[in-house]
Amino acid sequence: MRNKFLFVSLFMVLAVLLSACGSAVMPGAAPATRTISVSGSGQVSLKPDIAYIYMGVSTENESAADAVAKNNADTQRLIEALKAAGVAENDLRTSNFSIWQNTPYGVDGQPGKPVYRVDNTVYVTVRDLAKLGDLLDAAVRAGANNINSIQFDVSDKTQALADARKAAVEAAKKQAAELAEAAGVNLGEIQGIQYYDSAPVLYGEAKGLGGGGGDAAAVAVPISPGQMQITATVTINFEIK
């Protein structure tokens, strides 16, 4: 029994010694690489050249069939007006059609006769922003009484993103050089790069335009898409010597 206890004790001591040796830095082993991490941003301004609009027609009637029939006629007139204004058929897409019963209430709080409401919304892509104001005017004249939003975008951001990334890398390199000089060290090879691109869509507001039915007064819709900012951010790890 004593011999067995002695054997277990010697085994535990040996395990501790081996663990200590394994955690120690072996003579001649390469030291850990020292690095510095910096971030840089690059930005490019672009003028939007495309717009996306949700527009449609809402109708109400005590008869569901009559409400649908009037909505169909008004929506078809809207689509024809958009085509006449230069919008291609492939750039028109129905995004929503809904019908539901709505019960109005009088001033006395009593429910009135139920009516049916029909909504038909068309998603429109506009590729000539110079005509956007006239297009909105034509849509309202044709019966559109629901224009929810205008989203401005750039159809091709490839070159702008490349320029923003290049500017971000140059900014990161400049910052790394300044930090290395201040710290009295030299920069080595790049150890890793991470990047993030951002190109937010610009939103405009044109809500509830027009009275529908083709009797709306002319509306001069001023459109100013502004500038879109394409941003790239990079994080670069440099070896320091």
> Does residue 161 lie within any of the structural domains?
no
> Does residue 211 lie within any of the structural domains?
yes
Is the pLDDT assigned to residue 13 strictly greater than 70?
A: no
> Does residue 206 lie within any of the structural domains?
yes
Bigger pLDDT: 2 or 154?
154
Is the pLDDT assigned to residue 220 strictly greater than 90?
A: no
pLDDT digits (tens, 9 = 90+) for 20-61: 444 444 555 556 788 999 999 999 999 999 999 999 999 999
Is the pLDDT assigned to residue 214 strictly greater than 60?
A: no
Average pLDDT over residues 196-219: 58
Confidence bin at 105 (pLDDT 50/70/90): confident
Count of structural domains, the chain:
1
> Does residue 20 lie within any of the structural domains?
no
> How far is Cα 78 from Cα 143, in angstroms, rounded to an integer?
6
> How far is Cα 216 from Cα 201, in angstroms, rounded to an integer?
30
- Between strands 146-153 and 202-204, the pairing is antiparallel
pLDDT for position 65: 94
**Burial (Cβ within 10 Å: 0-12, 13-18, ≥19) of residue 124:** buried
SS (H, E, C) 220-235: CCCCCCCCEEEEEEEE
> How far is Cα 229 from Cα 46, in angstroms, rounded to an integer?
6
Torsion of CA 143, 54, 125, 138, to 10 degrees: 20
Q: What residue numbers bound the domain in which 140 lies?
A: 48-155+201-223
CATH of the domain at 63: 3.30.70.2970
Please indicate, yes or no, whether the overall pTM of this predicted structure exceeds 0.85: no
Residues 6+ apart with CB under 8 A from 190: 236, 237, 238, 239
> Does residue 10 lie within any of the structural domains?
no
Confidence bin at 107 (pLDDT 50/70/90): confident
> How far is Cα 54 from Cα 207, in angstroms, rounded to an integer?
10
> Does residue 38 lie within any of the structural domains?
no
- Tell me the average pLDDT of the chain: 83
> How far is Cα 213 from Cα 142, in angstroms, rounded to an integer?
7
